[in-house]
Amino acid sequence: MKVKIKKLHPDAIIPKYHTQGAAGFDFCALENSIILAGKIGLIKTGLSVSMEEGYELQIRPRSGLALKHCVSVLNSPGTIDSDYRGEIMIILINHSDVDFVISAGDRIAQGVINKIYQAEFIEVEELECTTRGSGGFGSSGIK
């Protein structure tokens, strides 16, 4: 699978996989920024992408940022559709009570490429019955 990457800014960093078996590749911040404690921030990457139709690029949190700094991707996973050509920007949330400082070049999120299937929606009068029925939100028990 080939993904075309365009630098929208000369300082943008092209993502890369850091290990042979990695599913995700890192996105880096284009600029210095601060996300205040308990707030969100929109972080530019300076990149845009083009990929084959039928695929998406998911934006996911980096586990180290979540564990060490309580910083995560707000709309996780975020989706970059195959026909989107704008700048990839990452919505981060700072769940901690300390401001989070981002320096240009910091790895702030990871991307994963996934195959997408589009459904055909068929309106019906009734759905098949199941044992579970309409039970949700913990109806199957805690354990």
- pLDDT per residue as tens digits for the range 87-120: 999 999 999 999 999 999 999 999 999 999 999 9
Which residue do the tokens 């769940």 mark?
Answer: 95
Burial 50-63 (b: 16+ CB within 10 A, else e): ebeeeebbbbbbbe
Q: What does pTM read for this prediction? A: 0.87
